[in-house]
A and B are shown apart, each in its own frame.
Chain A
Amino acid sequence: MPEHQEKKVKIRVEHLTKIFDDLTVLDGICFNVYDGELLCIVGPTGCGKTTFLNTLSKLLPATRGNILIDGAEADPKKHNISFVFQESTCMPWRTVRRNVAYGMEVKNFPPEKLAARLDYILELVGLDDCADLYPNQVSASMEQRIAVARAFAVNPDLLMMDEPYGQLDVKLRYYLEDELIRLWQTLRSTVLFVTHNIEEAVYLGSRILVLSNKPTTIKKEVIVDLPRPRNVMDPKFVALRQEVTDLIQWW
């Protein structure tokens, strides 16, 4: 049974459109994200994946359309929205512990709850040993884990990830993908994961939305009905990867 089946709709995106001057980047995108789902979004290079996420997260205002979280208009001040960027967003003047705590501080978690949640997340992500170090004392992959820990710590209604492992080598990426699945399965957050890496999308996602070239629309929704942990050599995995690859060929 697909992982999202019979779950309630958490996020509803209706006719999302973004136009810069006379350039239409997003063209009436509609889709749902189910509660506790890990939805991947893939598309050809330059199709507007980052604009898509920035508009969804309200970093950019949409030209038209609605983004509803639990039926109410999405608002970063009201809803718990987290974003993990491609580049490091660690604050170099804060220790690992205080970096992870930042989102909870903004959301005004009570001090006792914040401390307890912080200890839990640091241990879950395996950052407890380096909690008192500064970001310049840890590796690049560790910095991304700090950002991921911070994002999960606020118990997000929606966690958006914009190619978070795009700049890491393959071995580290595999490790962090497994870690992400473990965190997602433990914390049951709703995750929207944007990537240009098709294998990564098939490995992580419950569903994959394939985007078209600009003006971006959803070309196809692909259900990834494979058991976890997934085997990249499984013929079904390979077939799905090929299907998505065929969909986003731009040449």
Chain B
Amino acid sequence: MAKAYEAVKVKTPLLLKVLPLASIAAFFLVWQLVIDLGVVPRTMMESPLGVIKLFWVKLHQPNPDGAIWTVHAWTSIKEAFSGYLLSLAVGIPLGLLMGWFNLAEGLARPIFEMLRPIPSIAWIPLTIYWFGIDLSGKVFIITMAGFIPCVINSYYGVKMTNPTLIQMARTYGASDWNIFLNICIPSALPMVFGALQIALATCWTTLVAAELIAADTGLGFLITIGRKLTLPGLVVLGMVSVGLTGAVIGVAIDRLEKKLLAGIRR
């Protein structure tokens, strides 16, 4: 049986493997040409090669923003990950519990519905009063941003559990808790992994927004300094750093999902 299954597994055609690489290469080539040919002046935009050169310089040169690239990146990763992990730790269990237990839904949903429409950056003024502009304040804002998609996806992941599976478990006399652990949570996992991806994007976006307003290091701060000093290379370096870091984490989550959801994912 296993061999028969292996035999019908479809291999990814070479074209589909090459296509993403070709697309990225074409993007950077066009970008480089647009700058080199003067379509957009260098005072408004830096070329990819210029950004790479600047990246190399910023690895050991703290000027003009006061810190080398690794310090900015580490600050942002620390802030983003603290907020991200906190939002997962609070949002996912809450969403799962709200999806299955009426008591949890009754207690938490009204408050959640009030919090949901508030943009996370609206918390910035209060956060500055409460925490100042150090790590804890930014972590709070980022947590608020990641928390919402975590709750929503986990909640609907449980709500979308196949009712026949629940009935099947009930005929065996399974308790509510057993059904929650063995049926609802595994069933909600694809939506939960969706939440990990959405929350990651939201956390990074919010991090940059928070650092634009109040920070002394970080990738968002690098972008702000670049704007203030009219150094588009610095702005692009900050943007690319945010993009690449987010993409690497996104791919890692995707790999984890593939491994954990072997029976569910195609």
Residues of A within 8 A of B (CB): 54, 57-59, 75-79, 81-83, 85, 87, 89, 91-95, 102-103, 105-107, 129-130, 132-138, 147, 154, 160
Complex Cα distance, B164 from A79, in Å, reads 20
Asked if B172 lies at the interface with its beta carbon under 8 angstroms from chain A, I say yes
The reply to whether B164 and A87 contact each other, CB–CB distance below 8 Å, is: yes
CB-CB contacts below 8 Å: B154-197 with A: 164-165, 167-174, 178, 182-183, 186-187, 189
* B262 beta carbon closer than 8 Å to chain A: yes
Q: Which residues of B contact A75 (CB under 8 A)?
A: 173
Contact digits for B246-265, partner A, Cβ 8 Å, 1 yes 0 no: 00000000000000011110
Given contacts A91-B182, A94-B263, 20 further A-B contacts (CB under 8 A): A54-B167, A59-B167, A59-B170, A76-B172, A81-B171, A81-B172, A81-B173, A82-B172, A85-B164, A85-B167, A91-B183, A91-B186, A91-B187, A93-B261, A130-B2, A133-B2, A133-B5, A134-B262, A134-B263, A147-B168
Bound together, the chains give a CA A83 to CA B264 distance in angstroms of 24
Q: Closest CB of chain B to A206's CB: distance in Å?
A: 23
CB atoms of B5 and A107 under 8 A apart: no
Least CB distance, B183 to chain A, in whole angstroms: 7
**Residue pair A102, B182 in contact (C-beta under 8 Å):** yes
Measured CB to CB, the closest approach of chain B to A87, in angstroms, equals 6
Contacting pair B172 A106 (CB below 8 A): yes
Q: Is the CB–CB distance between B171 and A92 below 8 Å?
A: no
Asked whether any CB of chain A lies closer than 8 Å to the CB of B1, the reply is yes
Q: Can you list 6 residue pairs at the A/B interface with Cβ under 8 Å?
A: A59-B170, A75-B173, A91-B183, A92-B264, A137-B2, A137-B5
Q: Which of A76, A137, A138 contacts B171 (CB 8 A)?
A: A76
> Which secondary structure characterizes the binding site on chain A?
loop
User: What residues on A are CB-neighbors of B263 within 8 Å?
Assistant: 92-95, 134-136
Cα A85 to Cα B166 in complex, Å, equals 12
A211 to B167, CA, bound (A): 24
9 nearest CB pairs, A to B:
A134-B263, A76-B173, A83-B171, A130-B1, A77-B173, A89-B168, A93-B186, A106-B172, A106-B174
Q: How far is the CA of A76 from the CA of B189 in the complex (A)?
A: 28
Whole-angstrom distance between the Cβ of A134 and the nearest chain B Cβ: 3
Q: In whole angstroms, how far apart are the Cα atoms of A106 and B170 in the complex?
A: 10
Asked if A103 contacts B189 (CB within 8 A), the reply is no
Give bound CA distance, A95 to B173, whole Å.
22
State whether A76 touches B2 (Cβ < 8 A): no
Other-chain contact of B169, A93, A106, A132 (Cβ < 8 Å): A106
Query: 0/1 per residue, B223-266, Cβ < 8 Å to A?
Result: 00000000000000000000000000000000000000111101
A106 in contact with B173 given A133-B1, A138-B1 (CB within 8 Å): yes
- Residue from B172, B187, B261 within 8 A of A102 (CB atoms): B172
Interface centre among A87, A105, A137 (most CB of B within 10 A): A137
Complex Cα distance A100/B246, Å?
41
Could you tell me the distance between the alpha carbons of A147 and B168 in the complex, rounded to whole angstroms?
Answer: 10
CB-defined contacts of B183 to chain A, threshold 8 Å: 91
User: Given contacts A93-B261, A134-B262, A136-B263, are A85 and B168 in contact (CB under 8 A)?
Assistant: yes
Using Cβ atoms and an 8 Å threshold, which residues of chain A touch B2? 129-130, 132-133, 137
- Output the nearest chain A residue to B174 by Cβ-Cβ distance: A106
> A133 — which chain B residues lie within 8 A by C-beta?
1-2, 5
Complex-state Cα separation, A54 to B170, whole angstroms: 11
The reply to whether A91 and B165 contact each other, CB–CB distance below 8 Å, is: yes
> Residue on A with the closest CB to B8?
A137
A92-B264, A95-B263 are known contacts. Are A107 and B168 too (CB-CB below 8 A)?
no
Most chain A CB atoms below 10 A, which of B172, B186, B187, B261 = B172
